[in-house]
Amino acid sequence: MIWFWTRGEEEMRLETRYDNEKSEFVIILHHASGHDVVERFTDIEAFHSRVVMLERHYQSQRWTQSRGPIFLPDGFPKEPLT
């Protein structure tokens, strides 16, 4: 999924997906400066906590969700997680 955030004229994206080849949850932060940061998690609880923390952080920095989320059909597990 991709969430879009804006602050003034700046825009950034928060992308979440599941890497089926590596069995990892992935967060990709596409910063307004063009710099991307990739974070990987094997634990769904740690992944979820990080997403919530990022959302709170951006809100505290006066970023607002401008649109989205957009669902990425290839961003979900192909098999049930155990």
Would the pLDDT of 27 be above 90? Answer: yes
What pLDDT does 68 receive? 74
What pLDDT does 78 receive? 81
* The residue to which tokens 């607002």 are assigned: 64
Cis peptide before 77 (omega within 30 of 0): no
Residue 55: exposure state from Cβ atoms within 10 A (0-12, 13-18, ≥19): middle
pLDDT band at residue 1 under the 50/70/90 scheme: very high
Residue 61 to residue 76: CA distance in whole angstroms? 29
* Mean pLDDT of all residues in 49-73: 92
Instruction: Dump the DSSP string for 18-47.
Output: EETTTTEEEEEEE-TTS-EEEEEES-HHHH
pLDDT band at residue 64 under the 50/70/90 scheme: very high
